[in-house]
Structure 1
Amino acid sequence: MFEDLELYDVTIIGGGPAGMYTAFYSGMRDLKTKVIEFNPELGGRIHYYPEKIIWDVGGLTPVTGAQLMQQLIQQAQTFEPDLVFNQQITGLERLDNGNFILTAATGERHYTKTAILCMGYGVPKMAKLEIEGADRYEVTNLHYTVQELEIFRGRRVVISGGGNSAVDWANALEPIAASVTVVHRREEFGGHERHVAQMRQSRVDVCTLCGIAELHGCGSCIEEVTIAHLETGESIRLPVDDVIVNHGMRADLDALKQWGLEMNEGHVVVDEKMESNIPGIFAAGDLAQYPNKVRLIAGSFTDGINAVNNAKLRIDPKADKVGYVSSHNERFKERNKALGLVGDEQKI
């Protein structure tokens, strides 16, 4: 039975940027909080892009993914939420008392008054290059993420993809690589306009309406690639030292579909309270869908705040609708003193 389980106010499923900031804000609202993450550590998809430069988080100068991740991890643990790793939540049961039991694929159960889904696009799996035999090069010079820019210095690099990461990698590698060629199946790129313009104005060779048709290698290394135009069929063969593939993520959201959640194209539909069609189940970040949704890390923070505030009201209808800003929040008073940021005689 559930009586032997510890009851939480808020259980956050997903430990990426949305989940981490939501955990922090849940602590600000003095809610008993748990975070459940599929991976063995917090960070989410940022782990795939540790050297990607992130410009669009308010109040921060450009930072690498790794730097932002470490700051978010530190912030998430401010109010010491319980952290659970290596568990994928697959089961949801609403109890007669209105609370929920969340069950992991491994059998562990979690008891909570509300849940906030911060699972992004689900359990992430990199979309692989769909060329027979490509997997044998994954241990050498076929890459699905860029962990360290320096390993590409002075090398001939082909990047396949047209999203933000592909464009950012092209711009980051252009000054240090011997050559950079970007191959994209469409005319338009999905990256931010400014970054796309930067790429097009640099010495990056941009091939649109094209795809990698063949990999040519000796043993375990790719030595050349065939790039084919998707409409004309014309092709060129390029010598290459490294191939980087960014075809997006494929996600596993099958469990959510079984819960009865209203979904649309891989997103959970929520209302203005960030609440799903199941009362008490909220969503934030990339997983959430609502009118005028902004799919930026900064937007996910606001989603988390909204979800927590409404979870708080669900638990205690007499609570304040929003939390006090940190400069007036009692939970920070002693912490500010400990950090030497305010004198004993001053009031926050």
Structure 2
Amino acid sequence: MKESSLELYDVTIIGGGPAGMYAAFYSGMRDMKTKLIEANDRLGGRLLIYPEKMIWDVGGVGPILCEDLTAQLVKQAGTFEPTFVFNEQVEDFKRLEDGTILLTTASGQQHWTKTVIMAIGYGIRKLAKLEIEGADRYEVSNLFYTVQELEGFRDKRVLISGGGDSAVDWANELTPLAKSVTVVHRREEFGGHERNVLKMKQSSAVIKTPYVVDKLHSDSGEAIEQVTITHVETGETEQIEVDAVIVSHGMRTDFGPVRDWGLNLGQWWIDVNTKLETNIPGVFAAGDFVNYDSKVRLIAGTFTDAVLAVNSAKLYIDPSAERVAYVSSHNSRFKEKNRALGVSVEEE
């Protein structure tokens, strides 16, 4: 059954990851009527995959578990009470005669908005699975595609397959806990941040490159007991005893129907200008979805993207508006909230 909301919003944000959440907060600072549509059943985006990863690189925030940072971002996103819509994937985009935009979701819900901020990351995310026949049977025992609880790997022989940020991070997190950690990567070079890669190489983790996981062995048929790895150049094989296997081969992504909207999309992202404008008027973008010359691919950088996109959306609606929001110490939107916190507010 089709559902519709007759309300017209100033901005509709597609995507509830860090960029989308901060855009929802900052658009409140700009006194914009805001809606956020998320395909998942909750906010968090890609952060939900790594709840126990330790994050160090957000300005002004000490080392913090990913799940705790996510909780803070979720709380902040709701500061100005935007409308949240969950479990809905936006499929269709249409410009109406009066210039407003009609978004339609897969279920038939319709949403009217003056502007759109796309914070969809790398699109529809699916974990890249281990391409070995029968591997899926071990997903209920000791084959993992993400780490939910580090403690579950204490005193175990862990093999990690992958060479990106997540694989390197898990190796560093698990080395102090596990009996042994072996990292298998198909290339000599790792794709993680340099400091983290160096830490891994200086730890007790055993690094096997350039190798790939080739076979999984189990006498019981219930859990993986040995893994055969193969050298990608010589074909030499080696068998490793394991208690747990973590596969971190990244994400397979798909932008789906968004590719039919007329956006100038590349394979991984969309090119935007310094105002975070796309090639469609009134449609802006932020976060991992965007690319521009000075793009910073950190959570901290995604917050700046969100601010720039919201400011551009505000000026698109009202060219006479201030270019940026007043800082929180001088922004009238925070007066009542400061009073609620018991903070004295200087009246104008």
Same fold by TM (over 0.5)? yes
* Aligned position for 1:151: 152
* Aligned position for 1:41: 42
Cα distance between partner residues in 1 of 2:329 and 2:190:
41
Deviations 1:75-109 (A, max 9, x none): 00000000000001111001121111111111111
Summarize the Cα distance change of 1:83–1:230 in structure 2 as closer, same or farther, 3 Å threshold: same
* Aligned position for 1:171: 172
Query: Do 2:103 and 2:112's aligned partners in 1 also have CA atoms closer than 8 Å?
Result: yes
Q: C-alpha displacement at 1:124, in angstroms?
A: 1.1
* Aligned position for 1:236: 238
Query: Do 1:2 and 1:111's aligned partners in 2 also have CA atoms closer than 8 Å?
Result: no
* Aligned position for 1:312: 314
Aligned positions of 1:1-348 closer than 5 A: 5-217=6-218, 218-340=220-342, 342-344=343-345, 346=346
Cα distance between partner residues in 1 of 2:239 and 2:280:
54
Deviations 1:3-40 (A, max 9, x none): 96210000000001111011000111000000100000
- TM-score norm. by structure 2 comes to 0.97
Query: Do 1:162 and 1:189's aligned partners in 2 also have CA atoms closer than 8 Å?
Result: yes
Q: C-alpha displacement at 1:264, in angstroms?
A: 1.7
Q: Secondary structure at the match of 2:102?
A: strand
Structure 2, unpaired ranges of 5+: none
Q: C-alpha displacement at 1:254, in angstroms?
A: 2.2
Q: C-alpha displacement at 1:265, in angstroms?
A: 2.1
Cα distance between partner residues in 1 of 2:3 and 2:43:
27
Count of paired positions: 346
Summarize the Cα distance change of 1:65–1:206 in structure 2 as closer, same or farther, 3 Å threshold: same
Q: Residue type matched to 2:202 in 1?
A: Q
Q: Residue type matched to 1:241 in 2?
A: D
Deviations 1:111-162 (A, max 9, x none): 1000100010112110001111111111110000000000000000000111
Deviations 1:181-226 (A, max 9, x none): 0111111111111111000000000111111000111222111100
Cα distance between partner residues in 1 of 2:4 and 2:189:
55
Q: Residue type matched to 2:87 in 1?
A: N
Percent of matched pairs sharing the same residue: 61
Deviating more after overlay: 262-271 vs 281-290: 262-271
- TM-score norm. by structure 1 comes to 0.97
Q: Residue type matched to 1:169 in 2?
A: W
Q: Secondary structure at the match of 1:199?
A: helix
Let me know the Cα RMSD of the aligned residues.
1.5
Cα distance between partner residues in 2 of 1:65 and 1:119:
19
Summarize the Cα distance change of 1:4–1:303 in structure 2 as closer, same or farther, 3 Å threshold: closer
Cα distance between partner residues in 1 of 2:83 and 2:111:
12
Deviating more after overlay: 289-298 vs 19-28: 289-298
Cα distance between partner residues in 2 of 1:250 and 1:18:
20
Query: Do 2:5 and 2:110's aligned partners in 1 also have CA atoms closer than 8 Å?
Result: no
Q: Residue type matched to 2:267 in 1?
A: E
Q: Secondary structure at the match of 2:190?
A: coil
